[in-house]
Amino acid sequence: MPTATATSAGKAPQTPTRLAATLSRFLKATPENPKHPTFAGAVALVSVGGKVKTKAVVGDALRYSAGPVELPPAKRVPMREDSIFDLASITKVFTTILALQQVDKGRLDLAAPVAEYLPGFTGAGKSAVTVEMLLTHTSGLPVGASVTGMSSNAARRAAVLASPLVKGAVPGKTFRYSSVGLMVAGYLVELLAGQSLDAALKSGITGPLGLRDTGFKPLTWLSKADQAKRLVATDARTGRGLLRGTVHDDVANIMGGVAGSAGIFSTAADLTVIGELLLNGGTHGGKRILSDDTVKRMLTNANKGKPAIDAERPQRTADHGLGVELNQPWFMGKLSGPRTFGHTGFTGTSLVVNPDRGLVLVLLTNRAHPNWSWANPDPARVAAANVI
């Protein structure tokens, strides 16, 4: 993959220029999204064999104030290579790693019923839900939890655990994407690690790997100067106002900004480390985070032959490992394949890892700024994967 920037006669177009040009196209309306830009800005990073091969930075981290009202150029905040994004559902990958660390320690059995660990996990049919089903989205639990109007975290937690199965769902039979399942997995981590989820993240992943720009609630650990320069905005509508450094996901926000399903913020460089960690069998920089056998199980299709129900993406398949999507062309494009794994986030983020090429592609966009309904982020994800 070329890394030079010269464009002398006879040379093929260089990948950095092509990648940036590909992403820049989505800063304006496109045939795929004809009414609005897909995103205000983006950062992409590609590593092969553990070495950065190309990166691209386009657009703005902040382009709109609440309303939304488009800011004049002088008041916008340009995107940076080290901009910090709301990862949204890519949080689920981190939660899964933390849960699998408990498996490695012999504290958690993937085949065991969730109710054996969490007595509050009650309701019709839920005694058949295993830990593995939470991580493969085959539990039958709903997409989201009902936690509004509750006065305490204890009440909200109890409501999540008591979430009923989707009507007609049979645990283990069908892929239905469920944030509730990963919230419950987060509670398992807290119980078995004896720590809050944000503390477990720091002690189990970000601390050992030296990921200083990754964590929940960035307004609590970023300096005021970094908040102003590096935080990427999401929503700018009038309901919650401009969101910048505050989790976009409503349920995670109600839960205090920390949930197993959403809430982690990070940079392209830090998220690349997570891709490389899994690509390397659970180690990175001499630090072992997961056992090799556990990573192999994590990246093996647990849903082979099962149907998938997804009204938003009817073309998707059920292929899924533990906490990661497998072989999904709708966001992996031409990088997709039987062993390719990754995840997306509602805010416009994505991670794609192709083991056959030893390649990690991180694409972070702020497509939810100023309004998530303006555009479908998938065409930009596919375009970036295809140009790589």
pLDDT tens-digit series, residues 190-245: 999 999 999 999 999 999 999 999 999 999 999 999 999 999 999 998 889 999 99
CATH label of the domain that carries residue 239? 3.40.710.10
Question: Looking at the domain assignment, is residue 73 inside a domain?
Answer: no
- Give the mean pLDDT of 311-326: 93
Question: Looking at the domain assignment, is residue 39 inside a domain?
Answer: no
pLDDT tens-digit series, residues 9-40: 344 445 557 999 999 999 999 999 999 999 99
Whole-angstrom Cα distance, residue 189 to residue 100? 9
Tokens of 183: 């919230």
Q: Structural domain of residue 256, as residue ranges?
A: 83-340+362-367
Whole-angstrom Cα distance, residue 29 to residue 38? 7
Question: Looking at the domain assignment, is residue 41 inside a domain?
Answer: no
Q: What percent of the chain has pLDDT over 70?
A: 96
Question: Looking at the domain assignment, is residue 190 inside a domain?
Answer: yes
Contact criterion met (CB below 8 Å) for 345 and 378: no
Domain count, the chain: 1
Query: What pLDDT is recorded for position 2?
Result: 35
Question: Looking at the domain assignment, is residue 212 inside a domain?
Answer: yes
Question: Looking at the domain assignment, is residue 326 inside a domain?
Answer: yes
Whole-angstrom Cα distance, residue 201 to residue 33? 36
Question: Looking at the domain assignment, is residue 87 inside a domain?
Answer: yes
Query: What pLDDT is recorded for position 12?
Result: 47
Question: Looking at the domain assignment, is residue 56 inside a domain?
Answer: no
Alpha helical stretches, state H, 280-339: 292-298, 329-332
Query: What pLDDT is recorded for position 314?
Result: 84
Whole-angstrom Cα distance, residue 363 to residue 323? 19
Query: What pLDDT is recorded for position 16?
Result: 55
